[in-house]
């Protein structure tokens, strides 16, 4: 492999490993001699919510109208990314994510309780292997990736690093109705031709036993087992167009069955022939120039056999350890959002030494439960979010965020104002 080709391959790997992360930092990848790529991102957040977090705050809204609220500190995501280019078009990528501080568990011997051993959970959270793949690149038009991969459906899943949204937390609409970040074990074909980029994936289907009213199919990609059931298969696809400088237009979608995609199957019941077909269509865009950034999306999803799946899920066994939510699930769900920010320092002569300061506004509207015929609507599942604030970038890799806003619900409920602060970083150590 000559030097020019080696440099090109390494730059391509940097872009593949985190997609929008690399493009957010520079328009042209920086060539180095290393085949190793090391990077990551992280978020620290504080929020105060001026409303009750009681589980009955919607069913008995009048009781919690004057609740004092609550505060929280959080580590939403801390991610380490590693990649390596072996040569001859072969490369690997990994991404391990610690959500909300990871998980801390310990076994303790209780000296005051007959000396027995007890297992203690000292800190909640999750640890997830978000990417773990092997790739063969034939040329820029055709690449084959196999392993654990991100499903690029919607705006946030394909642009989930904290420098790709203004809020302290990820956009609420998509993060409610779809898995986010959505990652599955499967096969991907992708490539580029001029201003076009495409990706097509074959994946295991979602699990309808884990659908619910509050989040539609959000939990459907999870698995409480040491493996992921794959009785049903699905496909996902995305197309991006970047033919105008600073503008990206994208279409993405998902289609796959979800019924009986678990270790518990209804082979002898009235539910055995249900498809539970999940269909999701998404449009999103982003525009950036020297002074402004504008981003937005519209998503719509439909679930076939929603009424029957709701009846089955509601009536599932409640034996101890059952991981299912026992709620209805909507026949459809949707969300739409837009955010815009203006870099105030871009108008100053001395801006180069003072980073970027974005004043932004954001609007989300979404409904996670549009019921099938004959089922009662759940009013609080339809919400709007209005927020605004500032993002200060002293360096391209570091952001200080402040956001205030309110979640708007129907008149029979209490609105939910909040304030949040965040510190984030996004970058590469080696590439």
> 205, 232 in Cβ contact below 8 A?
yes
The phi and psi torsions of 289 (rounded to 5 degrees) equal -135, -165
Please enumerate in sequence order all residues whose Cβ is within 8 A of that of 61, keeping only pairs 6 or more positions apart, or say none: 412, 413, 414
Give 360's Cβ-side CA count (13 Å radius): 28
Distance, in Å, from the CA atom of 50 to the CA atom of 52, rounded to the nearest integer, reads 7
> 26, 49 in Cβ contact below 8 A?
no
Distance, in Å, from the CA atom of 96 to the CA atom of 190, rounded to the nearest integer, reads 22
Tens of pLDDT, residue by residue, the chain (431 residues):
444 444 344 344 344 444 444 444 433 444 445 899 999 999 999 999 999 999 899 999 999 998 999 999 999 999 999 999 999 999 999 999 999 888 776 666 555 545 565 666 667 788 888 999 999 999 999 999 999 999 999 999 999 999 999 999 999 999 999 999 999 999 999 999 999 999 999 999 999 999 999 999 999 998 888 889 999 999 999 999 999 999 999 999 999 999 988 887 666 677 878 899 999 999 999 999 999 999 999 999 999 999 999 988 887 765 556 677 888 999 999 999 999 999 999 988 765 678 999 999 999 999 999 999 888 899 999 999 999 999 999 999 999 999 999 999 999 999 999 999 999 999 999 98
Distance, in Å, from the CA atom of 405 to the CA atom of 412, rounded to the nearest integer, reads 20
- All domains of the chain in start order, with CATH: 3-430 (2.40.160.10)
Q: Running DSSP on this structure, what letter comes out for residue 413?
A: S
Distance, in Å, from the CA atom of 161 to the CA atom of 426, rounded to the nearest integer, reads 7
> Helix %, strand %, coil % for the chain, to 5?
15, 50, 35
Please enumerate in sequence order all residues whose Cβ is within 8 A of that of 352, keeping only pairs 6 or more positions apart, or say none: none
Burial zone of 28 (CB within 10 Å; 0-12 exposed, 13-18 middle, 19+ buried): exposed
Cα dist. 353→289, 347, 358 in Å?
A: 19, 13, 15
- Residue whose entry in the numeric block shows the structure tokens 């459906």: 153
| pTM, full prediction | 0.87
Q: Where are the beta strands (DSSP E) in 243-316?
A: 247-256, 278-288, 292-303
DSSP 374-388: TSPP-GGGEEEEEEE
């Amino acid at each position: 492999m000559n030097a020019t080709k080696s440099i090109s391959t390494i730059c391509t790997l940097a872009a593949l490993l985190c997609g929008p992360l690399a493009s957010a930092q520079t328009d042209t990848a920086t060539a180095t001699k290393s085949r190793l790529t090391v990077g990551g991102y992280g978020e620290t957040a504080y929020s105060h919510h001026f409303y009750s977090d009681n589980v009955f705050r919607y069913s008995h809204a009048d009781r919690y109208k004057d609740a004092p609220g609550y505060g929280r500190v959080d580590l939403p995501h801390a991610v380490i990314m590693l990649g390596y280019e072996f040569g001859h078009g072969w490369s690997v990528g990994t991404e391990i994510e610690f959500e909300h501080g990871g998980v801390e568990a310990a076994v303790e011997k209780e000296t005051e309780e007959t000396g027995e051993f007890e297992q203690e959970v000292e800190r909640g959270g999750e640890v997830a292997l978000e990417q773990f793949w092997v790739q063969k690149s034939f040329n820029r038009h055709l690449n084959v990736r196999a392993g654990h991969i991100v499903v690029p459906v919607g705006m946030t899943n394909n642009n989930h690093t904290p420098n790709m949204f203004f809020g302290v937390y990820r956009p609420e609409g998509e993060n409610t109705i779809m898995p986010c970040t959505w990652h599955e074990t499967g096969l991907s074909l992708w490539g580029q031709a001029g201003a076009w980029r495409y990706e097509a994936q074959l994946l295991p289907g979602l699990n309808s036993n884990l659908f619910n009213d509050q989040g539609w199919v959000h939990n459907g990609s999870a698995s409480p087992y040491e493996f992921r059931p794959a009785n049903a298969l699905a496909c996902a696809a995305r197309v991006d167009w970047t033919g105008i400088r600073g503008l990206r237009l994208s279409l993405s979608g998902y289609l796959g069955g979800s019924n009986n995609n678990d270790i518990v199957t209804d082979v002898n019941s009235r539910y055995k022939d249900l498809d539970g077909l999940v269909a999701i269509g998404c449009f999103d865009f982003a525009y950036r120039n020297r002074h402004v950034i504008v981003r937005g999306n519209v998503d719509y999803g439909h679930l076939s056999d929603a009424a029957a799946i709701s009846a089955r899920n509601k009536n599932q066994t409640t034996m101890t350890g059952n991981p299912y939510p026992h709620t209805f699930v909507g026949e459809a769900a949707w969300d739409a959002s837009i955010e815009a920010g203006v870099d105030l320092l871009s108008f100053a002569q001395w801006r180069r030494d003072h980073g970027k300061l974005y004043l932004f506004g954001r609007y989300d509207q979404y409904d996670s439960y549009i019921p099938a015929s004959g089922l009662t609507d759940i009013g609080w599942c339809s919400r709007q979010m209005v927020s605004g604030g500032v993002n200060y970038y002293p360096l391209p890799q570091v952001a200080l965020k402040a956001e205030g806003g309110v979640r708007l619900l129907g008149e029979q409920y209490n609105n939910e104002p909040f304030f949040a602060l965040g510190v984030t970083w996004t970058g590469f150590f080696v590439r």
